[in-house]
Chains A and B, each alone.
Chain A
Amino acid sequence: MNLFSFAVKNLQRRKGRTLLTIAGVAIAVAILFSLLSFSAGYERELTKEMDSLGFHLLAVPKGCPYEATTLILHGGVIPKYLTNEDLARARATDGVVIAAPMLLQQVIKDGTPHIVYGIEPAVMLPLKPAWKVDGRFFTENETRVMVIGSTLAEKENLAPGSVIPFGPAQEQYTIIGVLHPTGSEDDNFHFLPLADAQRLFNKEGLITAIAVKADDVKHIPAIAENLEKVPDIQVVTMSQVTGTIMNLVGSARSLLFSVIVIAIVISAAGITNTLLMSVNERTREIGMMKAIGASGYHIAILLIAETLLITTLGGIIGILAALAGSGIIETFVRRLVPYAPSGSFVSFDPLLIGECLLFSIGLGLLCGLYPAWKSARLSPMEAIRGEWE
């Protein structure tokens, strides 16, 4: 027998109380791990999604640029438009390699909104090198053809060759291609040739946004400045979008952190109380142990070992519970955040797991110190008499 196995046996005395204390620690660690994991995962997925867009700037009609950008990224529709003249001026701006026009429209089918992107394949496809298509992509002058995202194809049971009634006039459109899964919002969209989309929705000469790729990331500020000289255009860089979304998420994160701090304080008070009760019940035993040769150090180590067992076990259970329940929590979090990237927020990050376990151990040490110190300095005679205070 050693002090560790002695500590394990001591914890078995009041199994219910020990399990409740472990559960308290597990809940606090599960919340902490979930929040940190989701925070890191969200930022990673957001950055990945922004990078996958393939462009550096988005030129949108003047108004609230961030709202407009978020709507465009999500596939929403804004009621303002740019014109072909704006597109021409964007293309003529120094440092602009690609300026890809987009017209976004929404159609409702069976009560579900469908997002339609009118694009020019000649300029859009170089921005999306990762796009692979089953079937083929359309050319600029084709009409009544479309390419659709993989999720949409699966949901609607569509494949290359399918013909569907589409648009306000329910014209017959042929699906000529289905995108391979991209892990982004593109998987849910209908893509049409720009001119055909403008015709279909009666928006000739109008575009919703222009995606701009710079020749060098260092030129992005200068390009943005030049583009904003065009009266109708407001420019949003993708790093600004990421920053704005992260700021919004940060506010929610601060709120959650304060909840965690409260949970941890309650958990710590519970652990300390459990230990003090346990020590109080065993005062005479501690006196006996001191009489038969235990020093204050032995008693302190024994109590700290008991605390560490509780908190470490609680930490492991909390992390496992957080990983097991991450799917449910992710669904909940997606409803709360202003913009939810398509990829999973959950990550099995060994560093984060290690940090949370270290936190559990630190919590154990912190909670165990006072009871350990108090019982270590009990005089053996007073302890045998059961005099705790």
Chain B
Amino acid sequence: MSIIEATGISKTFRRGREDVCAISGVNLTIEAGEFVSIVGPSGAGKTALMNILGCLDTPSSGTLIIDKIPVTGKGEAELVKIRREHIGFVFQQFFLIPTLTVGENVGLPLLFSGRPYEPGTIESLLEKVGLSHRADHLPGQLSGGEMQRVAIARALVNNPRILLADEPTGNLDSVTADGIYRLFEDLHQQGITVIVVTHNRELAQRAGRVITIRDGCVVTGL
């Protein structure tokens, strides 16, 4: 069963007087529970595609269906709801709030969703990412790998079906990056759809499917 269906997706940006085409006519279907890597050279359109699949940006043309919800033409308020309920995000720079503890950072999405949640949710997520002993620490006291694990726990706190990670190992050494990928593999085993944008072809190969983008077009992995 497909969880993401993109048909004829294009994105054009205005830069000065020029229109720059970031992605062009992308058709892509991702099945629920898949582990997908998106690779390609810098400027190929990986992040642009990721932003559209994650409802952070809207396509200039084409249609997109996320978890059976047609996304095309929806306003920001509806996109916020889709992001909140269906998608978890992991970024290269972690984006942890420095004055909040690890536990508070993980629970941040719950503050915005306003949904009641099971007691112990945050603790069990921290246990899942191997940081239950760090709940009361501040991000400044953690290593890069630990910070990314906190960011992954934060992405999972609303029980999303899709996890989108944009260069999640870009700031990490190879050993730590390997640990993060093992975590993704575990999440994939638990049925979460994991989509990772990466430069690292070696790590990308650990996904079930590798999609290569060049000049805004999907060239392999469809």
- A, B: real partners: yes
| Set B51, B80, B108, B111: member contacting A381, Cβ < 8 A | B51
Residues of A near B112 (CB, < 8 A) are 289, 292-295, 298
Residues on A close to B: CB < 8 A?
Answer: 1-3, 6, 9-10, 12-13, 284-285, 287-296, 298, 379-381, 384
| Set B76, B83, B100, B107: member contacting A291, Cβ < 8 A | B83
Query: What is the bound-complex CA distance between A16 and B196, given in angstroms?
Result: 40
B43-99 residues with Cβ-Cβ distance < 8 A to A are 51, 54, 56-57, 76-77, 80, 83-84, 88-89, 91, 93, 95, 97-99
Beta-carbon contact of B91 and A288 below 8 Å? yes
A-B CB contact pairs (8 Å), 5 listed: A1-B104, A1-B107, A292-B84, A292-B89, A298-B111
Q: Considering only CB atoms, which chain B residue lies closest to A298 in the complex?
A: B112
The dominant DSSP class at the A interface is helix
Beta-carbon contact of B76 and A296 below 8 Å? yes
Q: Considering only CB atoms, which chain A residue lies closest to B113 in the complex?
A: A293
In the A-B complex, the 7 residue pairs with the smallest Cβ-Cβ separation, listed nearest first, are A293-B84, A288-B95, A9-B99, A293-B112, A294-B112, A381-B57, A292-B109
Query: Known: A13-B99, A284-B93. Is A1-B83 also a contact (CB below 8 A)?
Result: no
Query: What is the bound-complex CA distance between A289 and B109, given in angstroms?
Result: 8
How far apart are A289's CB and chain B's nearest CB, in angstroms?
7
Q: Beyond A2-B111, A381-B57, list 12 extra A-B contacts (CB 8 Å).
A: A9-B100, A10-B97, A13-B99, A289-B112, A292-B88, A292-B158, A293-B83, A293-B112, A294-B80, A295-B77, A295-B112, A384-B56
Query: What is the bound-complex CA distance between A290 and B84, given in angstroms?
Result: 9
Q: Considering only CB atoms, which chain A residue lies closest to B84 in the complex?
A: A293
| Set B56, B89, B111: member contacting A3, Cβ < 8 A | B111
Query: What is the bound-complex CA distance between A381 and B76, given in angstroms?
Result: 12
Query: Known: A1-B111, A381-B51. Is A291-B99 also a contact (CB below 8 A)?
Result: no
User: Does B162 touch A at the CB level, under 8 Å?
Assistant: no
Q: Considering only CB atoms, which chain A residue lies closest to B97 in the complex?
A: A285
How far apart are A317's CB and chain B's nearest CB, in angstroms?
22
Query: Known: A3-B111, A6-B100, A381-B51. Is A293-B80 also a contact (CB below 8 A)?
Result: yes
Beta-carbon contact of A6 and B57 below 8 Å? no
Beta-carbon contact of A13 and B109 below 8 Å? no
Query: What is the bound-complex CA distance between A109 and B165, given in angstroms?
Result: 91
Query: What is the bound-complex CA distance between A284 and B91, given in angstroms?
Result: 11
User: Does B188 touch A at the CB level, under 8 Å?
Assistant: no
Query: What is the bound-complex CA distance between A285 and B88, given in angstroms?
Result: 16
Query: What is the bound-complex CA distance between A293 and B112, given in angstroms?
Result: 6
How far apart are A387's CB and chain B's nearest CB, in angstroms?
12
Q: Considering only CB atoms, which chain B residue lies closest to A379 in the complex?
A: B57
The proximity string for B residues 104-120 relative to A, scoring 1 for CB distances below 8 Å and 0 otherwise, is 10011101110000000
Beta-carbon contact of B111 and A6 below 8 Å? yes
Q: Considering only CB atoms, which chain B residue lies closest to A11 in the complex?
A: B99
Query: What is the bound-complex CA distance between A295 and B81, given in angstroms?
Result: 9
How far apart are B74's CB and chain A's nearest CB, in angstroms?
14
Q: Considering only CB atoms, which chain B residue lies closest to A10 in the complex?
A: B99
Query: Known: A284-B93, A284-B95, A384-B56. Is A293-B100 also a contact (CB below 8 A)?
Result: no
Q: Considering only CB atoms, which chain B residue lies closest to A6 in the complex?
A: B111
How far apart are B147's CB and chain A's nearest CB, in angstroms?
13
Residues of B near A380 (CB, < 8 A) are 56
Residues of A near B88 (CB, < 8 A) are 292
How far apart are A21's CB and chain B's nearest CB, in angstroms?
17
